Amino acid sequence: MSNSPDVNRQFLTRFAWLSIVAALVTIGLKTAAYFITGSVGLLSDAVESLVNLVGGIMALAMLTVAARPADEDHAYGHGKAEYFSSGVEGGLILVAAISIAVAAVMRLITPRPLEAVGHGLLVSVAASVVNLVVALVILRAGRKHNSITLEANAHHLLTDVWTSVGVIGGVGLVALTRWLWLDPVVALLVAANIVWTGIQIVRRSIAGLMDIALPAGDMIAVRKVLQTYEQMGIQFHALRSRQSGARKFVSTHVLVPGDWTVQRGHELLDKIEADIRRVLPDSVVFTHLESLDDPASWDDETFEGG
């Protein structure tokens, strides 16, 4: 038996549009800050915002695909499209980090004094505030609606915020100390931070595409549900789980006394599935009824995922 929630997630694309608008605004502001000051650190910040724009467009496309209902060719829905979006965004983050590092090394080799630092920093701070507000809104939506695409996009924006904080601090130190090498060094540190974030996002995307089991907390909640029925003499095995975008999948074999009627077994499975969906909202639950008295029921007893 199974139950598949019919959830319309098309509305999540509005958050991708918000990310795109924020990226366009911050690209303009940070590029202006770079031309005002000539800081390679601020240039690195602008480059990352360009990646934010591409990531936002990718998120919009994949959220649109993921919102499509299941069909004959995609019986389990289109939720995995979100992993492609977050994977691409993670890859773009890594590309941006390489670009920043190259620009920083060139500036280390050929230092250049900064100009109009105060005005440039004010513009950069304004861009950071835009990113921070948008990132928090998108992150909240991503967690509420269990969207890895929105979470990846929000974390990227938050990385951009912390990047900007570091760059602003570095440029400020250059203005105070006249140590021109600080600007490219800060840019290199920014690149390293971006690489770390990109790797984490890519790893999470790969885990989703590889059908890794649900998080430990989710599986503990499922096992607690099953334990309440085990006290009634019901047994379970072959517990498996995976996640596809926002939708979680759980399956298990339910073993009942052999003299039970089909109706009684059916009613039990309905209750078990409902209880699991209660602790794991928006989950799809598959159960398979077997007899405790049939030796064949125990053939896959040792196969338990999650």
220-277: per-residue pLDDT in tens?
A: 999 999 999 998 889 998 899 988 766 789 999 999 998 999 999 999 999 999 999 9
CA end-to-end span of the chain, whole Å?
20
Number of compact structural domains in the chain: 2
pLDDT band at 303 (very low <50, low <70, confident <90, very high): low
End-of-domain residue from the set 209, 236, 251: 209
Same domain, 21 and 99: yes
With beta carbons less than 8 A apart as the criterion, state whether 123 and 36 touch: yes
Instruction: Determine how many CB atoms are found less than 10 A away from the CB of residue 76.
Output: 13
For the segment 165-192, what is each residue's pLDDT rounded down to a tens digit? 776 777 677 777 777 777 778 778 877 8
Structure tokens at 265: 């077994």
Q: Is residue 121 a part of any domain in this protein?
A: yes
Q: Is the pLDDT of residue 16 over 90?
A: no
Q: Is residue 304 a part of any domain in this protein?
A: no
Q: Is the pLDDT of residue 7 over 70?
A: no
Same domain, 193 and 226: no
Q: Is the pLDDT of residue 41 over 70?
A: no
Domain containing 221: what range? 216-298
Same domain, 131 and 224: no
pLDDT band at 288 (very low <50, low <70, confident <90, very high): very high
Same domain, 167 and 29: yes
What region does 178 belong to: left with phi over 0, alpha with psi -120 to 50, or beta?
left
Q: Is residue 174 a part of any domain in this protein?
A: yes
Same domain, 55 and 143: yes
If one compares 283 and 253, the residue with the highest pLDDT of the two is: 253
Q: Is residue 306 a part of any domain in this protein?
A: no
Same domain, 93 and 226: no
Same domain, 115 and 251: no
Same domain, 154 and 272: no
- Nearest one of 204, 205, 200, 22 to 94, comparing CA atoms: 200
Q: Is residue 305 a part of any domain in this protein?
A: no
Same domain, 205 and 64: yes
Alpha helices in 145-244 (DSSP H): 148-177, 182-209, 216-230
Q: Is residue 112 a part of any domain in this protein?
A: yes
